[in-house]
Structure 1
Amino acid sequence: MASFPPNRATTLKAAFRACDVGPLVGADIERYYVDLSNVRNTEAIESLNTRLDFLEPAEFCSILFTGHRGCGKSTELRKIQKRWEVEYKVIYIEADAEIDILDAEYTDLYLVIIKKVADELNKLNLKFDAQLLHNFETWFKEITQETEQTVERSVSISASAEAGGQIPFISKLLGKIQAQIKGADKQKQTIRQLLQKDIGRLQADINLLLGDAFVKLKQKYPEYEKGFLIIFDNLDRVPPNVANHLFFDYSEQLQSLHCTIVLTAPISVVYSEKNLSNAFDTPNIVPMVNIYKLERQRGDLEYNDVGIKAVASLIEQRVDIDAVFESPQDLLELVKASGGHVRQLMRITAKAFLTAATRKHNKVTTDDVTYAIKQEQFNFERSIPTELYSELAKVCLTKDVPKDENGWLMLFSLWVFEYNGKTRWNYINPTVRQSDAFQEALQSITANP
């Protein structure tokens, strides 16, 4: 992640850095966070906080937090982390750094969670019950055919030095298995089959360790009266087929661990005939920031000035507009091209700054903005199958996605956005909407309804 400039950016270079697409963390949250509650339904965020508040010590649950990738979920989760650090020991996990995001299984999540808890206990100078730990390690070594010698050989010198040479064996063991699961397909399948063959034992042993960790944590740190809160971010990056498998076929397993877990999920899983609410409680959905005036009978919607100004404030909070734009109208064009999608806004705005600097301009011009938006458009054109443009045109007219694999793909790939508040509806990503192929499909459907 790029480091933000110390003040609002006044040069193209600083403005480019200020539009880093990563989530806000630490002090940057207070500095750059913009409250969008007036233009975006924030019930999902407050509902999650309320659910955590309602839990009593030793009560656990798994909560789904969903929305489009890049809509600002990670920043909201960082705020949630900060809010609850007084009652929970929060462990923040970035899924894509720990598992194979393109081929994830619930057992992978189990191993990551217990390893992270073991690591956290070690940092706090706490230890699992010796007998429980021995039972788990012995069984785990047996089914994976690992020994202390094979595990020790796999631990890098740098990792040992970083931990002061005090890495618990359970962390070394699980770390090696995780690396193998992320690696060769043959090893991955073998390990998963071994674990799933005795999933009852794996689940029971992990829950015994989690229960022991909860007791040890409360004894030494009574302020963490609700125990561990696991925030599993970036699971929304798993593709639709993996998400369907993970959140429907194994929903029970994802809710069986004795700790409170917040799981990010792709928005595509909400659009399923299986009904996600049958597997989990009602998911908490973070929608797009609404920049439109909804008229269902219109294909080309007018803009909502309040929403436009709110999204523009995301850039205004980071950048001195007069110093880096020739005209404030150029910023508004970038906002309209974002569709209210925060990451897309940051990406195309950063591209405009980079383009202006490359062209030796002192400020961003209208041509720079047009070029940046066009590049985003071209990126989408390269990925959209020709035959799907007619389906996208139908979405533009009906304001709803099909509840099938094409619909899931549209949402996952950010070709279509969800907006909700008093009503729920879908609309085409503006950069997709301006492509020639889409416009031709729209004209064809309009002419032949």
Structure 2
Amino acid sequence: MSQDLLTEISNAFEPFDPPPQGAYVDCGSVRGDWSILTELGRKIIRSKTTTCQLYTGHRGAGKSTELLRLEKYLTEQKYFVVNFGADDEDIDIADTEYADILMACTKHLVKKVKFEDPNPLKGISSWLQARADSLSELLLTELKFDGLSLEQQVSQITKITATIKAQPDNRKKIRERINANAPSLLQVLNDFIDAGKKSLIKQGYKDLVLIVDNLDRIIESQKSANELSNYDEIFIKRHDQMRGLHCHVIYTVPIAMVYSERCTQLQNNFNETDVLPMIMLQNEKGEKSEEGLAKFREIIAKRIAPIAINGQDIGLTLSKAVETQVFESKEVLERLCLMSGGHIRLFIKMIQKALDHTDDLPISRKAVNRAIEDAKEDYLNAIFDHQWNLLSEVNATNQIPNAENDKEYPRLLANRCVLEYRYRDQDDKLKRWYAVHPLVKELDKFRV
């Protein structure tokens, strides 16, 4: 039974999957009272015009999970939501430009929005058909729309996005053809959206919301010193087109861009970017947050509770004794929590790693230490020699200095060596502070 149980527990902690049904834990109170329903949802519900919002946070902090929560909330409020992860099928995060995103949005909108028009894609299909000959050469397959069913037309669009993602040699040429005619493609896509919204309203929906997730994973690249980086091309140069869709839109954006000299331009183009803060397990003085630790215990309990072995609800029993039956002591569990820095995905990965070194419950101190040591190696490999002094500055001040070399700090935020936290003080003022990741502070090269 013990091996079956360990297998079930390990599978309950898949770091790249959203929490199982019923396992979501609301951590807003230890994120500075941040709520996606308030920060992003209300802007949509209370706006009489379409909105375009940017959303970011540390990789693995729970952004996608919160977006799923927002999708559920908006659906309950009678909004039709199209939510997709751009890197799943459509973009190569190591080489992404605006044209890739526009085609991905086109594909997912035409796949999801259903209405009565017998040929709803006539504008989009005509646009693509006019360029079919040149695109077919690059797709290495015929591109045609005449006489096809709706599903077959959608599959033709999927050919384009699949090629953009999978074939670097043809990617640039496809982009050139799309970029040269992007305004007209945007227009026919908006014609589709406008018609779709009319149909959705007849079906009882209030409006259409498009959520484009995982754009924060895009890796910044620059072809030459005289050219814009892909970040700037997408979110600065093309901001009018990014905002140009005739529906509510939420884009995730790389955190390194938000904490850079471009933040003012982003605010001017999109208004303020909403940031998902890290879960606070310690305050600036290093004192433990009992509320934050309780949230992490709840995360474990809710994932374990549904587990049953041979008809026995053993998971429910374990969920009530996480500190003594799942882990060998409260201290061992707390160390694992604190070493995560409040980073949910890392916390879950370390639990899974500790289970790899466990033959029987409870999880021992030795197994937890092995998981921590493995995680420390990842951070050691991510830090360059010249960055150690910068980390010491953050550790001393709990702030990101406005220094000559401040371009380094966005990089440290992006690779999670520095984490951002928020809380409300006694006067309900929002306080923002930064900390060096606890795993980094335990590395031999770190200097206080």
TM-score normalised by the chain length of structure 2: 0.83
1:261 to 236, 249, 266: 249
**Structure 1 pair 285/127, CA: closer, same or farther in 2 (3 Å)?**
farther
> Are 2:216 and 1:236 aligned?
yes
SS at match of 1:21: coil
Q: How does 1:15-414 map to 2 (within 5 A)?
A: 15-24=9-18, 28-29=20-21, 31-43=22-34, 45=36, 46-56=38-48, 59-86=49-76, 87-97=78-88, 98-121=90-113, 127-129=118-120, 131-141=122-132, 144-145=135-136, 150-151=141-142, 168-219=151-202, 221=203, 223-226=204-207, 228-241=208-221, 242-274=230-262, 275=264, 276-295=266-285, 301-319=286-304, 320=318, 321=322, 322-357=324-359, 361-401=360-400, 404-414=406-416
The change in CA–CA distance for 1:234 and 1:413 in structure 2 (over 3 A counts) is same
Paired with 2:421 and 2:127, the residues of 1 have a C-alpha distance of 46
Cα drift, residue 369 of structure 1 = 0.8
Are the counterparts in 2 of residues 239 and 412 from structure 1 also a CA contact under 8 Å?
Answer: no
The residue type paired with residue 252 of structure 1 is D
Contact 1:106-1:246 at 8 Å conserved across structures: yes
Which 10-residue stretch deviates more, 413-422 or 195-204? 195-204
Q: Say which of 427, 443, 446 aligns to 2:435.
A: 427
Q: Please say if residues 152 and 172 of structure 1, whose CA atoms lie closer than 8 Å, have aligned partners that are also in contact.
A: no
Partners of 2:272 and 2:361 in 1: CA distance: 50
Partner of 1:256: helix, strand, or coil?
coil
2: CA distance, partners of 1:171 / 1:351: 42
Query: Does the CA-based 8 Å contact 2:124-2:185 persist in structure 1?
Result: no
The code of the aligned residue for 2:108 comes to: K
Offset at residue 206 of structure 1 (A): 1.7
Shifted more, 365-374 versus 47-56: the winner is 47-56
Q: Percent identity?
A: 26
Deviates more, 1:280-289 or 1:176-185: 176-185
Distance 1:229 1:55 in 2: 12
Does the Cα contact within 8 Å between 2:210 and 2:250 map onto a contact in 1? yes
Q: Conserved in 2, the CA contact under 8 Å of 1:69 and 1:266?
A: no
Q: Does structure 1 conserve the Cα–Cα contact (< 8 Å) formed by 2:212 and 2:249?
A: yes
Q: In 1, distance between residues paired with 2:157 and 2:43?
A: 31
**1:447 matched to which residue of 2?**
none
Instruction: Tell me, in whole angstroms, the C-alpha distance in 2 between the residues paired with 1:340 and 1:147.
Output: 46
Q: What letter is aligned with 1:315?
A: I
**In 2, Cα distance between the equivalents of 1:265 and 1:391?**
24
Cα distance in structure 2, aligned partners of 1:128 and 1:395: 58
State the 1:142 CA deviation.
Answer: 5.1
**1: CA distance between counterparts of 2:261 and 2:121?**
47
Cα deviation for residue 187 of structure 1 reads 0.9
Report the CA distance between 1:336 and its aligned residue: 0.5
Cα distance 1:37–1:183, how it changes in 2: closer, same or farther (>3 A)? closer
Contact 1:94 1:234 in 2 (8 A): yes
Contact 2:138 2:173 in 1 (8 A): no
Q: CA deviation at 1:247?
A: 2.2
8 A contact 1:12–1:324 mirrored in 2:
no
Residues 1:419 and 1:128: Cα distance change in structure 2 (over 3 Å): farther
Q: 1:16 to 1:431 in 2, by over 3 A?
A: same
1:308 to partner: Cα distance: 2.3
Cα distance change on mapping 1:105 and 1:326 into 2, 3 Å? same
> How has the CA–CA distance of structure 1 residues 368 and 101 changed in structure 2, closer, same or farther, with 3 Å as cutoff?
same
Question: Does the residue aligned with 1:294 lie in a helix, a strand or coil?
Answer: coil
How far has the Cα of 1:130 moved from its partner? 6.5
| Deviation of 1:374 (Å) | 0.7
Instruction: Number of aligned residue pairs: give it.
Output: 405
SS at match of 1:376: helix
Q: How far is the alpha carbon of 1:127 from its aligned partner?
A: 4.3
Query: 2: CA distance between counterparts of 1:79 and 1:102?
Result: 28
Give the root-mean-square deviation of aligned CA atoms: 2.7
